[in-house]
Structure 1
Amino acid sequence: MPADQPSPSTPLDAERAHLAASRAALRTMRAEAEGLDISDVTANWVNAEVLASELAQRIKSLADLAHTPLFFGRVDYEHDLGEADDETGRRFYIGRRHVHDADGDPMVIDWRAPASRPYYGASKKDPQDVALRRRFGYDGGELTAYEDEHLTDPAEAERSSALLQREIEKPRVGPMRDIVATIQPEQDEIVRAGLSGSVCVQGAPGTGKTAVGLHRVAYLLYAYRDRLARSGTLVIGPNRSFLRYIEQVLPALGELEVKQATVDDLVAGGGIEIRGTDPSGTARLKGDARMAEVLRRAVRSGVRTTPAEGVVVVRGSRRWRVPVDEIAAIVTELLARDIRYGAARDALPQRIAHAVLVRMEAAGEAPDDRVQNAVARNPAVKAVVKEVWPLVDPVKLVLRLLSDAEFLARAAEGILDEEEQKHLLWERPARGVKSARWSPADAVLIDEARDLIERTGSLGHVVLDEAQDLSPMQYRAVGRRCSTGSVTVLGDIAQGTTPWATSGWEEALAHLGKPEAVVEELTQGFRVPRKVIAYASRLLPAIAPELSEATSIRDSEGSLVLREVPVEELDGAAVAACREALEREGSVGLIAADARVPVLSAALTAAGLAHLTPGQETSESARLTLVPASLAKGLEYDYVVLDEPAAVVDGEPDERTGLRRLYVALTRAVSGLTVVHATPLPGELAAG
């Protein structure tokens, strides 16, 4: 601090002064980046474009977000971590990004840096050389309070953090926010796991598994930035509403370039338009892992091991002949190697050309690689390759498989029975590919076929959220995108609501190609109030008896209200419950069976209550979201009104799936849940 300024009179004043100085330093860092002249520092225009793009991203990442605290904590170590002989070697402010002063000394260190780790993991039992941990409280961007823990003071009792509790319970208005200030030790262990290993997180509602996955991406990009800059990262969510809800978390942590997609996005393309849907039984069958072998057979079904005649290559005045049996041996050997169809097809002309070169050398010639390549391009060689190893279009192949009974029967023999084959078959489209009513499950089959022909590119790391709802074939599609990288799988078996939902993580990880992944279970809740999660957990014996019951650190008075009304008053009661919730601070979600949404939307409009759809940002003028139960997964609201639980259950094809959908809906509340019903509650909830 400049000498002409008075010293702060209180510790809070001192912290505010450090915050102001840190913000000033961040502005200086941004100004310096903006002032860099890079016009003459690159060898060519391509490098100049790349450098300019990287500089633009650097400038963007240095933006000072006024309502986002620049630091949220401080650790004072017992011993210096650096060479400084003052407090700068022992005291570190922990924040969302690194900030340094004019001399390069850190004013705020990134939460992902090694020196930050004890902020999350240190305790009185294991102080990790931390003498003091200080948490800060903010109102918007203004620092308003602090709270200290003296980890090496035996006289200070172990106690919970009021500021930490307040931050966890802060009203949720708008999209999902980061939890960087409230990461718990068990979450931090998962976040900081190395890049080489894959992790599967089984997390009960409110345990923060989605946030853990996103913060893990941010950590990996910090710790392995060069490697992941080359190979890429991807976050996969269940639907677009969910992705819109989480899209601000990584930018708030300074990571601006991570792509997000759904599984449908991954397998899109190939010239098809998704215009149809499958019955649940057909969709389950198309998602069955057995379809991978059916497709493999179908892709290779056109290969002929024996050509009609041998190859005769004319070069100058000489003729070189490769007989039928030798070509057959080459084709048979390539099939036995079980390499991708396209790679084998590319290798075939080279293998035939090599057979010709062997004959040339035996005749006293000395051919080189250029001669071999020329022979491989010879029309006679190309003709026999076309005959025995024809090109395969993955879209046309899947169309034929689904519309040609004889072709399907040959490919599925011994794998699918006749009844299953009938479920798969369409009528042949009048105009082929363009007129076919492709379904999302068909796109996954096309993606599998495409990979059988040509290898799918692999990313360095993939985060797969709500993974319990994927089919085996969808797992395979995701696994192809991280075959040489790693994956963070996030999900909850109890929330599986698709007909093909996975029954266990061991099976799912095998389909994903990551059987070695470590499975971690999070059961300590930080979001859902204790009474609400206990009430929802009454469903666990029916929907996932193998899972541990979740607990919660939060006990909010009046957090659970059950309200039974006459059937003719149901709509009005739901609207009234929403109006009551809107009198409190925070977001409100009205969750209902999909079939009830139009009726409730009309009732809300008639009552003058503005409402949004999932994925839209809430605001002070419209804090209420009307949520179809099918889209509620992964979302959260301060207050939830759940309309007619029995209708949520009845909206699914079977009772178990319906109860799982209800479990999801019951566990979206952060502060309070009101259940409004006219029909008796499911027996599992009524009991106890």
Structure 2
Amino acid sequence: MPARSPLDSERDHLAASRAALRAMRADAEALDLTNVTANWVNAEVLRSEVGLRIKALADLAGTPLFFGRLDYAQAVDDDGSGHRYYIGRRHVHDADGDPMVIDWRAPVSQPFYRASKRDPQGIALRRRFGYDGGDLSAYEDEHLSDPAEAERGSALLRREIERPRVGPMRDIVATIQPEQDEIVRTSLSGSICVQGAPGTGKTAVGLHRVAYLLYTHRERLARSGTLVIGPNRSFLRYIEQVLPALGEMEVKQATVDELVAHVEVRGTDTARAATIKGDARMAEVLRRAVRSGVRLPTEPVVVVRGSRHWRVPVPELEEIVEELRSRDLRYGSAREALPQRIAHAVLVQMERAGEAPDDRVQNAVARTPAVKSAVTSCWPQVDPAKLVLRLLSDAAFLAEQADGVLDADEQRAILWEKPPRGVKSARWSPADAVLIDEVRDLVERTGSLGHVVLDEAQDLSPMQYRAVGRRCSTGSVTVLGDIAQGTTPWATPSWAAALAHLGKPEASVEELTQGFRVPRTVIAYASRLLPAIAPELSEATSVRDSPGSLVVRPVAEAGLSAAVAAACAEVLRNEGSVGLIAADARVPALAGALAAAGLTHLAPGTETSADSRLTLVPASLAKGLEYDYVVLDEPAAIVAGEPDERTGLRRLYVALTRAVSGLLVLHAQPLPGPLREAGEPAAA
């Protein structure tokens, strides 16, 4: 009988591990939850938790259960065991409780990502596995403690990075690089900002950081909560499968607009109005507006209890109101405190008269009509939407609150031309909703989560940063973005400014410049735009050298749309996903050209492996998305579609860097200046 090969042995371990995982799930499904809790509420909570556990133990057919192996030079466990560990997406143990697969987030797994010849971290051998679908097909060894073996790149690692992708974003747990791993494993108490050039994996790093923190601080974050914030729903649909693939089923995802959706948004602002409304100075205008209704009392408060009348004079009431107004209390908290302060003044008089009132008496006094009337007069309730409605409709009120903060031209820019009749009839804009959210927080504190991941953060306004910061005021944040990809008129000029608006000025800033997905020729071509859009940033590099990955093709203007459709058909002969990116205004014409050519296409965020591999992407939605091949339509039209040239060039930079394997640029108009100045690749 021929000797079994190492690959056969590894396949045996994979089969045994999958069987153990099925047994773990069967045990969870077999749990008897009857009569194990004190009440039905606890029973429902327990059933929910067990249900999530069962989902997390699913064996995903096309996903490798483990992707690596570590052989330690010496035992790492107290009992002398632990020489060998298989590293995978989740923990798997056998019937005796012994580990068969170790979760990639466990401390013992860390050397898989960070060990090297120079620093083997106790590892004698690191083995990587290659898969075809869910079948183990190859392995590759690195003998880190053998000085005779030269350090070399991993072919399996490179193959996994370059593997074609169709559909939603997948995890990178098998390919995390040392600099990425350091960010992923940053402590929960520390906020961090990741400036990442295209293809450096910043989004994946942020998602894997959430998974790591949930593994390390499970109970704490279960109480306080986690949230991933993305720029739009298409982006969130694109990334939504990453965390479930890592066993994390309950992380919430939202856009900033969804966080502040206190009113129905039906309107839009001009770029100037939106920029002013998003300016941090609006926080002071709103603070003044909220406090503008506070009035000093003009009459004493007389409380009747039985046959006695207790009188709080105007000067004493003024002192109470002024003291509350001077403190840094939220408006609602101060309003709740005011009746208690007035009632306390009455109790003091009662005690001086020889009575012995207690807290119940004080609460009763606080609820008397006289005290309630005084509170309503001095400290009226504030409806956030109504207050913002008045601010944007009433020129005199806005002028009073914005005096010395916004000049007259800025005030006119944000005033509505035709004031609406009420909150429901108002055509609120996204920027207006953020203002309402600010007022809500001035009235009543916004709840804070344990950790928030904010992706594509460079496009947020200062007021949007404040809205996000409120949601992690007592927790930490991972900020992800690229200054060079800022495509809004209010895009942040620096991470220091952004972190200050978030309320996290102490957060560390890490820069990722080593690309792993975008080919070197493509990132170099896109980087020609950097001096014009973000001269302070370092030029990105890439580990991938893919000859022929960039083609720039001039075509006749009359036949541009047809030529683009033909190019898509040409690129679809390759394996993998294809994104056709174009200026928003060009999308309808290109949709017609694709239909005429018999090519079906999808919208961003709806990609699945069972449908078309071609996605038609408006340039405004391209940020954060990734395709194996990109056909880029008319760069000049993308630039022209933005309010100014710098923003347009940034939008173009985003579009140019969405390709993983190849980029085909078609243009009828002259290319934008920064691309022309350096010359173009040969037309093909």
Coarse TM-score class (shorter-chain normalised): over 0.9
Residue 293 in structure 1 maps to residue 284 in structure 2: yes
Q: Which residue of 2 aligns with 1:177?
A: 170
* Residue 406 (structure 2) aligned to one of 408, 416, 424: 416
Residue 523 in structure 1 maps to residue 513 in structure 2: yes
Residue 97 in structure 1 maps to residue 90 in structure 2: yes
Tell whether the 8 Å contact from 1:207 to 1:527 is kept in structure 2 after alignment. yes
Q: Which residue of 2 aligns with 1:19?
A: 14
Residue 353 in structure 1 maps to residue 343 in structure 2: yes
Q: Which residue of 1 aligns with 2:265?
A: 274
Deviates more, 1:181-190 or 1:422-431: 422-431
* Residue 35 (structure 2) aligned to one of 28, 33, 40: 40
Determine what percentage of the aligned residue pairs are the same residue: 79
Tell whether the 8 Å contact from 1:404 to 1:428 is kept in structure 2 after alignment. no
Q: Which residue of 2 aligns with 1:63?
A: 58
Q: Residue deviations 1:41-72, cap 9 Å, x none?
A: 11111111111111111111111111110000
Correspondence list, 1:610-625, <5 A: 610-619=600-609, 621-625=611-615
Tell whether the 8 Å contact from 2:87 to 2:103 is kept in structure 1 after alignment. yes
Q: Residue deviations 1:2-52, cap 9 Å, x none?
A: xxxx99700000000000000000000011111111202111111111111
- The structural deviation recorded for 1:620 is 5.3
Distance 2:47 2:407 in 1: 59
Correspondence list, 1:359-370, <5 A: 359-370=349-360
Residue 245 in structure 1 maps to residue 238 in structure 2: yes
Correspondence list, 1:575-590, <5 A: 575-590=565-580
Q: Which residue of 2 aligns with 1:284?
A: 275
Tell whether the 8 Å contact from 1:198 to 1:518 is kept in structure 2 after alignment. yes
Q: Which residue of 2 aligns with 1:150?
A: 143
Residue 232 in structure 1 maps to residue 225 in structure 2: yes
SS in 2 for 1:433: coil
SS in 1 for 2:195: strand
Correspondence list, 1:277-356, <5 A: 277-305=268-296, 307-356=297-346
Distance 2:504 2:492 in 1: 15
* Residue 28 (structure 1) aligned to one of 23, 39, 43: 23
Tell whether the 8 Å contact from 2:62 to 2:133 is kept in structure 1 after alignment. yes
Tell whether the 8 Å contact from 1:594 to 1:630 is kept in structure 2 after alignment. yes
Cα RMSD (Å): 1.0
Q: Residue deviations 1:395-421, cap 9 Å, x none?
A: 000000000011101100110111111
Distance 1:83 1:235 in 2: 39
Tell whether the 8 Å contact from 2:601 to 2:613 is kept in structure 1 after alignment. yes
After the TM superposition, list the runs of 4 or more consecutive aligned residues in structure 1 that deviate by more than 3 angstroms.
Answer: 83-86, 427-430
Q: Residue deviations 1:171-196, cap 9 Å, x none?
A: 01110000000000000000000000
Distance 2:472 2:325 in 1: 26
Residue 657 in structure 1 maps to residue 644 in structure 2: no
- The structural deviation recorded for 1:427 is 3.8
SS in 1 for 2:340: helix
Correspondence list, 1:382-393, <5 A: 382-393=372-383
Correspondence list, 1:548-563, <5 A: 548-563=538-553
Q: Residue deviations 1:652-679, cap 9 Å, x none?
A: 0000000000000000000000000011
Correspondence list, 1:602-681, <5 A: 602-619=592-609, 621-681=611-671
Residue 570 in structure 1 maps to residue 580 in structure 2: no
Distance 1:318 1:97, change over 3 A: same
Distance 2:647 2:344 in 1: 59
Distance 1:609 1:486, change over 3 A: same
SS in 2 for 1:520: strand
Letter in 2 for 1:324: V
Letter in 2 for 1:349: P
Q: Residue deviations 1:334-390, cap 9 Å, x none?
A: 111021000000000011111111111111111111111111111100100000000
* Residue 502 (structure 1) aligned to one of 468, 492, 496: 492
Tell whether the 8 Å contact from 1:202 to 1:521 is kept in structure 2 after alignment. yes
Residue 536 in structure 1 maps to residue 531 in structure 2: no
SS in 1 for 2:660: strand
Distance 1:192 1:391 in 2: 46
- The structural deviation recorded for 1:85 is 4.4
Normalising by structure 1, report the TM-score. 0.98
Letter in 2 for 1:222: Y
Letter in 1 for 2:109: S
* Residue 141 (structure 1) aligned to one of 134, 138, 157: 134
Distance 1:324 1:55 in 2: 61
Distance 1:8 1:509, change over 3 A: farther
- The structural deviation recorded for 1:618 is 3.5
Distance 2:411 2:594 in 1: 47
Q: Residue deviations 1:573-593, cap 9 Å, x none?
A: 211211111000000001000
- The structural deviation recorded for 1:429 is 3.8
Deviates more, 1:210-219 or 1:7-16: 7-16
Distance 1:424 1:43 in 2: 56
- The structural deviation recorded for 1:308 is 2.1
Residue 218 in structure 1 maps to residue 211 in structure 2: yes
Correspondence list, 1:584-599, <5 A: 584-599=574-589
Distance 1:334 1:70 in 2: 60
Letter in 1 for 2:235: F
Unpaired segments of 5 or more residues in structure 2?
679-684
Letter in 1 for 2:243: L
- The structural deviation recorded for 1:247 is 0.3
Tell whether the 8 Å contact from 2:607 to 2:615 is kept in structure 1 after alignment. no
Distance 1:616 1:54 in 2: 30
Q: Which residue of 1 aligns with 2:4?
A: 9
Q: Residue deviations 1:113-163, cap 9 Å, x none?
A: 000000000000100000000000000000000000000000000100000
Q: Which residue of 1 aligns with 2:682?
A: none
Letter in 2 for 1:488: T
Letter in 2 for 1:530: R
Correspondence list, 1:62-141, <5 A: 62-85=57-80, 89-141=82-134
Letter in 1 for 2:314: V
Distance 2:310 2:427 in 1: 50
Tell whether the 8 Å contact from 1:529 to 1:672 is kept in structure 2 after alignment. yes
- The structural deviation recorded for 1:619 is 2.8
Normalising by structure 2, report the TM-score. 0.98
Distance 1:172 1:445 in 2: 40
Letter in 2 for 1:98: H
Tell whether the 8 Å contact from 1:8 to 1:14 is kept in structure 2 after alignment. no
Tell whether the 8 Å contact from 2:566 to 2:597 is kept in structure 1 after alignment. no
Distance 1:621 1:499 in 2: 36
- The structural deviation recorded for 1:433 is 1.0
SS in 2 for 1:434: coil
Q: Residue deviations 1:616-645, cap 9 Å, x none?
A: 124355100010000000000000000100
Deviates more, 1:613-622 or 1:282-291: 613-622
Distance 1:8 1:446, change over 3 A: farther
Letter in 1 for 2:241: Q
Tell whether the 8 Å contact from 1:612 to 1:618 is kept in structure 2 after alignment. no
Tell whether the 8 Å contact from 1:592 to 1:642 is kept in structure 2 after alignment. yes
Tell whether the 8 Å contact from 1:587 to 1:618 is kept in structure 2 after alignment. no
Q: Which residue of 1 aligns with 2:181?
A: 188
Tell whether the 8 Å contact from 2:636 to 2:670 is kept in structure 1 after alignment. yes
Distance 1:7 1:365 in 2: 100
